[in-house]
Amino acid sequence: MGFAMGEGMSRQGSHLVIVVGAGPAGMSVANIMSKAGHEVVILNRDIKFGGLAEYGIFPSKLKLRGGLRKQYWEIIERPNVHYFGNVTVGQSKALSVEDLRALGASAVIFATGAQGTKTIGVEGDSAMGVYHAKDVVYHFNRLPSFGDRPFEMGKHVAVIGVGDVMVDIAHWLTRYKQVERVTAIARRGPLERKYNPKEIRAVCHNIDQEALREECARIRPRLEAVGQDADKILKEMTEDFTKCEATGSSTKMGFRFLASPRRVLTDAHNRVRALEVEETKLEPKGQDTAAVGLKQYYEFPCDSVVFAVGDRVDDTLGLPYKNGIFVTNPSSSGNDPDDALFQTFDEASGKVIEGIFLTGWARKASEGLVGIAKRDGEWCAEVVTRYLDTRASAERGAVEGVLRRLRDLLKERHVQTVGVEGLRSLELAEKACTATQGSIGEFKFATNQDMLQHTLQKT
């Protein structure tokens, strides 16, 4: 598959590149490419830029979110950056991958994050009261179409996984929903917990330490069987429970280790009543461990289940996809070794899809913090720059041509885009409102329609 080179291109000089997705990775690519003098078009599904920095990072982290927002504003306000919010790329969406390829930009970089839902093959996972963490996170961050949807959690919530996303969900359940009990379900042991010690401060006030000691005593023989010291692990784990933030709730937070979810059990109304888990043991796997099922099952009563096990990419986007990820070039021959990691690859033809690149969580789903996504964008920009150096650059008039075709296409498809001016009006309108009772952090309009009413709709 060759990439359609726009008319009127010459060697040397600047190019027009399209970045799809305005999260930390996409904004990082846009930053580097625009600083290098290229024209950058950003197409973003959400009206607002930021991705998970806007709709993922816990909404009370105002300093972190505000700092990122400031950096992103500076980028999108550059004269050679053209922001189009409210534009989803994908099959049967505003624009398809083929539409983008036909526009005649020099390169298209997909920084769309991990928008697909990862399921772990647990029977009953479509019951009422089963949720995927991303949806819950989008809900309490008030992403339109998630913010005003009810998320009934009941009294006792089982959260599958022990990463930072589990902690964010537990934070919301503890401080804001004030449920009775939250239990993190881990298929491995306490040593293999993934959350950052600093993040646990948001909920450690509510951790039932006596129950945690009992849980460690219960699994002690299985930890010792692989040479783990249960007392040392418990000591290290509880040492992180310092500087605990007051939550003002009596929610009890606990852990269930060596427990692999098998089935969601429901009542006559298809509502969650329990989680069936299988006892596991640890087996060494290189430097790490793996959980191995013991074929002993028990019911863990709960009213809702949240899967916080990471995400996968959206396979409906229209890029070659396999096993939860977009396919990248398996061979680095002939390139700088880094290049292949960012190039999309068509296995049917055995060829790199020229001019189409991946970065951030679209390249490596659910991996790392904002800083890692930013670094990935910078790395991708280096790869794209090497590619552009081999291509003819845009002649005067060609950039306007691409932008005109893009605007015409979006108009033809009745897509109401939001540009910088629209975002400015929206920000002013939101700042003028006080946060709704019960919501966290700053005020946000609930729907795209509400947001669009407060934009000037100019791009």
Ligand X SMILES: NC(=O)c1ccc[n+]([C@@H]2O[C@H](COP(=O)([O-])OP(=O)(O)OC[C@H]3O[C@@H](n4cnc5c(N)ncnc54)[C@H](OP(=O)(O)O)[C@@H]3O)[C@@H](O)[C@H]2O)c1
Binding at 211: pick from ligand X, ligand FAD, none (beta carbon under 5-8 Å per type): none
Neighbouring CB atoms inside 10 A of 447's CB total 13
Opening angle at CA 138, ends 136 and 144, nearest 5: 130
Opening angle at CA 165, ends 123 and 178, nearest 5: 90
In the window 348-367, what residues touch ligand X (CB under 6 A)? 366-367
Among 24, 59, 144, 163, binds ligand X (CB under 6 A): 163
Comparing C-alpha atoms, which of 26, 112, 111, 27 is closest to residue 77?
27
Q: Of 313 and 406, which has the nearer Cβ to ligand X?
A: 313
C-alpha to C-alpha distances, 90 to 16, 69, 227, 327, nearest whole angstrom:
21, 26, 49, 16
Q: Of 356 and 365, which has the nearer Cβ to ligand X?
A: 365
Among 168, 240, 278, 303, binds ligand FAD (CB under 6 A): 168
Among 19, 41, 57, 184, binds ligand FAD (CB under 6 A): 57
Integer Cα distance of 307 and 119 in angstroms = 8
Stretch that binds ligand FAD, among 38-46, 213-221, 258-266, 425-433 (CB under 6 A): 38-46
Min separation Cβ 418 and ligand FAD, Å: 12
373 binds ligand FAD (CB under 6 A): yes
Among 168, 240, 278, 314, binds ligand X (CB under 6 A): 168
Stretch that binds ligand X, among 164-172, 272-280, 406-414, 432-440 (CB under 6 A): 164-172
CA dihedral for 143, 428, 177, 257, sign (positive or negative): positive
165 binds ligand FAD (CB under 6 A): yes
Integer Cα distance of 70 and 90 in angstroms = 29
* Token pair belonging to 404: 């005109």
Neighbouring CB atoms inside 10 A of 155's CB total 11
Long-range (24+ apart) CB contacts under 8 A made by 98-101 are 98/318, 99/409, 100/18, 100/20, 100/43, 101/3, 101/4, 101/355, 101/356
In the window 288-317, what residues touch ligand X (CB under 6 A)? 308-310
199 binds ligand X (CB under 6 A): yes
Q: Of 99 and 276, which has the nearer Cβ to ligand FAD?
A: 99
Binding at 160: pick from ligand X, ligand FAD, none (beta carbon under 5-8 Å per type): ligand X
46 binds ligand FAD (CB under 6 A): yes
Q: Residue 246 carries which side chain, given as an amino acid letter?
A: A
Min separation Cβ 46 and ligand FAD, Å: 4
Q: Of 122 and 380, which has the nearer Cβ to ligand FAD?
A: 380
Residues in the chain: 459
Binding at 317: pick from ligand X, ligand FAD, none (beta carbon under 5-8 Å per type): ligand FAD
* Token pair belonging to 392: 């003819």
Binding at 53: pick from ligand X, ligand FAD, none (beta carbon under 5-8 Å per type): ligand FAD
Is residue 61 within 8 A of residue 20, CB to CB? The reply is: no
Greatest Cα pair distance, the chain, in angstroms, is 72
Q: Of 171 and 454, which has the nearer Cβ to ligand X?
A: 171
Stretch that binds ligand FAD, among 259-267, 271-279, 348-356, 360-368 (CB under 6 A): 360-368
Binding at 349: pick from ligand FAD, ligand X, none (beta carbon under 5-8 Å per type): none
Comparing C-alpha atoms, which of 3, 82, 130, 155 is closest to residue 399?
82
SS3 of residue 368 by DSSP:
coil
Among 293, 368, 401, 441, binds ligand X (CB under 6 A): 368
* Token pair belonging to 243: 């500087």
Comparing C-alpha atoms, which of 198, 5, 144 is closest to residue 450?
144
C-alpha to C-alpha distances, 76 to 50, 69, 79, 352, nearest whole angstrom:
11, 11, 8, 30
Site string for ligand X, 56-85 (x = CB under 6 A): ------------------------------
Min separation Cβ 275 and ligand FAD, Å: 22
In the window 82-121, what residues touch ligand X (CB under 6 A)? 120
Binding at 383: pick from ligand X, ligand FAD, none (beta carbon under 5-8 Å per type): none
Q: Residue 368 carries which side chain, given as an amino acid letter?
A: G
- Chain contacts with ligand FAD (rule: CB under 6 A): 20-26, 43-46, 51-53, 56-57, 61, 88-90, 111-113, 115, 137, 165, 168, 317, 360-361, 368-370, 372-373
- Chain contacts with ligand X (rule: CB under 6 A): 120, 160-166, 168, 186-188, 192, 194, 196, 199, 308-310, 366-369
